[in-house]
A and B are shown apart, each in its own frame.
Chain A
Amino acid sequence: MRWRDRASVVLAFVAPVVLAAVTSLAFANFDKLDPVKLALVDHDRGALSAQFIKELQTDPRLRQLLRLRVVDSTSHAETLVRQGRSEAVLVIPEGFSTAVVNAQRPPSLLVLSTDQKPIAGSVAQAVAQEFDTRASAVTLAAKTTQQLVEGQPHGGVRKSVPVGTGAVPFPRQASTKPLKTASYFAPSMTIVFLFFAVSFGARNIWVERRQKTLMRSSLSGASVRTVVAGKLAAAYVFGVLASLSAWATTSLVFKTTWGPPGAVLMLIAAMSAAAVGVSLVVATVVRREEQLDTVTAVVSFVLVLLGGNFIPPSSLPATIRHVSLATPNGWAMRGFLDSVTTAHAGAAVGAALVTLAYAVVLFVVGGVRVKGLLQR
């Protein structure tokens, strides 16, 4: 019967596919770290700034990060940014080298960026900060040396020792398989819709209760729980098919990785069961049929928010950061992340089992309450 209902087909197949496709499209270019187009204005024209520019032009690490353009004036650089030909500006102020050489506090470097290119601004800021810190270290070493010499009656500089490079922060991937943004949000958004896609199973219980068809069907000899289980099984199959269609579309069309097929199938199977379980419990908790859709929507929204489907747990407020593991979808997301970043199906087994355990608990609770619902 569900196949004949066009809305169900929309909900089960079109909606998750469109949603996952939009997500994949939205973040398709997000992970590409293109070199930042940086305009550099050298008002200093000293030895240090010349050395810095040379380093920016020759250091392989920096060349990977930046496409440098040295310009004459700040206004020219600003024009380049407005025209989109540069993404950020770094200004080395006049007297910077002189201050460092004379062991004085150097004037502050200036980074100009736009709200539209926050990453470019951040990269320019990091590069400027690294240069400034190294220059400051030279000044600080000179000052400290001076203070040490002044503190010693027969002291003096015994040898010329250059200031070392020191500690260099260097980004490293947490896994051999880097996590692409689309790989996070494609399964994540599919789970969001899973909650809505499977809710018709529990809704039918209310419809049949209103029409008194469920009690009539029990006269045939089948227990009420068997009939309800049949309805939920149909919703479960729908949920699995909806998730599979989103997985197939995003993987085949948009090349989004969800992880090894075994892990994906496990997690889809477990998460679909948990989503059906949630809808069953919601259906047995509400007092009126009219409340069912709203409560389903509220519960779904809260679960997907706490589970990290819209926002990853690391960006959630500290107080609710660990609540994601109190939700079945939070565990399913953990399973997807583990399977994507390790490319190992076994990595998702634990998360899939916990998600399934949630489903079992929800079915038990819902199963106990469903008879009361029908007798009300």
Chain B
Amino acid sequence: MTLLEPAPGSRVLGSPVPAIRPDVSIPSGDDARTVAHIAAAVVRLTLKDPVSLFFMFLLPFFIISVVGTALAVDTGRPVGVVVADHGPLATRLLDRLRHDHVLHVDAYSDRGGLNRDVRRRLLTAGVVIPAGYDAALRSGHPVEVPLVVADAKLVPEAVRIALARDIEQESMVVTAASAAAARTGSTFDHALALADATGAQMFTPVTQQRLPTRTTNQPRGVQFSAPANLVLFMFVNILGSAVGLIAGRRRGATRRAMLSPRPWWVPITGEICGRAGLALLQASVILVVGAALFHVRWGNPVGVGCVVVTFAVFAGAASVLLAGLARSEAQGFALAPPIGILLGMLGGCLWPIAIVGPGLRHVAAVLPTGWAMTALVDLGSGGADVGDVAAYLVALAVAAFALCAIAVAVTRRRFAQRVVS
């Protein structure tokens, strides 16, 4: 959507490619006002489009919510359980698993079905309580409880620990009762009742502490998904808005704008500022709603504001540059999503950079999406100050300025040309 769209009923000029006035006048107050008018119009026209509103202001929250849940401190992870032993001890273990808030237990009748759903990634993991479980525990013999996984590394840390904790705690009580009963000649059930009562006070959970490190902290849940989708959607949406500007080129609107009494750079700058404004508006909504509804800690507001502003200008310039380079709307649509998603992916917006190899980490370190993402994570999860992310801010500002200069230079002639659809 662009101000450079022709007004209804306007007459399209039939002239060939117009000569662009070479004068580069000193920017005046009128120029600045025109830039502001164009930018405001870009924002206003986009906000009138309900589909754009959905994509800019609703879809990000849906994705933040889904991805945040996927990466959250775990609760209700789906785990399948096959109970091949129907003794009371097997039932006790099943109950313990069912009462664990980390797990959501689905009962399976056979191992084949359990394996299939773990393979299909419908279940995080599976547990098989084997036949003979009861007898082995009562007699003090070891028994292996298979944990069925598609890939051990894909089982979330909390699920792994919860499963091991539940099985081992249950085992602790039962084996203690079994030994005590054998030592004293009491019945196993009596010993188990006593061990149950004592065991509840006995177990001391292992204390876990995180050591502070110099490198970026690894955020979880919405602390990752909110900044990741802020960066991704700002970039993908604004880059995608290039298609509207290409449509303006096709209709001759950009040609007319370049022939206006204002200097040639005014309409281009206005389009960049308008797109940056849209990106800022989108970012503001994500920041506010993210904090209010999802309890995202964004960190130092000045630092976050600087990251968002510089990245918004970068995205706006990238969009106008794409609109200048693409030969048709089809090309614009063909290029915008792949470029946006690819840069987002490489910058660490689709998965945490910490899990990828060193090669891709180096790639993230030289991309504006990577700078924005790292700075936001450092500010939000790492408690960094503006000074701590200054290097990223400078890099983003330089990249935004450079891309603006390139976009203005490249689009100067291209905007004066017609495009084919």
Instruction: Determine whether the beta carbon of A169 is less than 8 Å from that of B164.
Output: yes
Are B191 and A144 in contact, CB atoms less than 8 angstroms apart? yes
Evaluate contact between B172 and A169: CB separation under 8 angstroms. no
Chain B contact residues: helix, strand, loop or mixed: helix
- In the complex, how many residues of chain A place their beta carbon closer than 8 angstroms to a beta carbon of chain B? 123
Chain A residues contacting B164 (CB-CB under 8 Å) are 126, 129-130, 169
Q: Could you tell me the distance between the alpha carbons of A130 and B175 in the complex, rounded to whole angstroms? A: 14
CB-CB nearest in chain B for A178: B151
Chain B interfacial residues counted at CB < 8 A: 128
Chain B residue numbers with a CB within 8 Å of A78 are: 211
User: Does A223 sit at the interface, judged by CB under 8 A?
Assistant: no
Quick one: which of A113, A167, A199, A290 contacts B208, CB cutoff 8 A? A113
Specify which of A106, A157, A310 is in contact with B350 (CB 8 Å cutoff): A310
Contact of A144 among B198, B243, B333, B421 (CB under 8 A): B198
| Residue of chain A at shortest CB distance from B127 | A169
Q: Which of A147-175 contact B (CB under 8 A)?
A: 147-149, 152, 155-175
Interface digits, B111-128 against A, CB 8 Å rule (1 contact, 0 not)? Answer: 000111011111110111
Contact in complex: B182, A140 (CB < 8 Å): no
Chain B hits for A207, CB < 8 A: 330, 421
Within 8 A of B (CB), among A287-321: 290-291, 293-298, 301-302, 305, 308, 310-318, 320-321
CA distance A168 to B167 in the complex (A): 7
Residues of B within 8 A of A211 (CB): 421
Does A284 touch B at the CB level, under 8 Å?
no
- State A191–B89 Cα separation when bound (angstroms): 46
Cβ–Cβ < 8 Å partners of A236 in chain B? none
A169 with B168, Cβ < 8 A, contacts A18-B342, A149-B184 known: yes
Which residue from chain B places its CB closest to the CB of A174 in the assembled complex? B118
The yes or no answer to B384 lying at the interface (CB within 8 A) is no
Chain B residues with CB below 8 A from A163, complex form: 140, 175-176, 179
Q: Are A113 and B210 in contact (CB under 8 A)?
A: yes
Q: Which of B114, B186, B208 has the largest number of chain A CB atoms within 10 A?
A: B208
Question: Which residue of A is nearest B359, CB measured?
Answer: A25
A143–B198 contact, CB under 8 A? yes
Does A157 contact B183, Cβ atoms closer than 8 Å?
yes
- The interface bits of chain B over 372-383 (1 if a CB of A lies within 8 angstroms of the residue's CB, else 0) are 000000000000
Question: What does the 1/0 interface line of B39-71 toward A look like (CB < 8 Å)?
Answer: 000000000010110110001001101110111
A→B interface (CB under 8 Å): 5-8, 10-11, 15, 18-19, 22-23, 25-31, 33, 78, 81-82, 89, 105-116, 118-119, 121-122, 125-126, 128-130, 132-134, 136-141, 143-145, 147-149, 152, 155-175, 178-181, 184, 192-193, 196, 199-200, 203, 207, 210-211, 290-291, 293-298, 301-302, 305, 308, 310-318, 320-321, 334, 337-338, 341-342
Interchain Cβ contacts under 8 Å between A and B, 16 examples? A10-B335, A110-B206, A111-B206, A129-B168, A130-B168, A132-B204, A168-B171, A170-B147, A171-B152, A175-B150, A179-B150, A181-B153, A308-B121, A311-B67, A314-B124, A338-B120
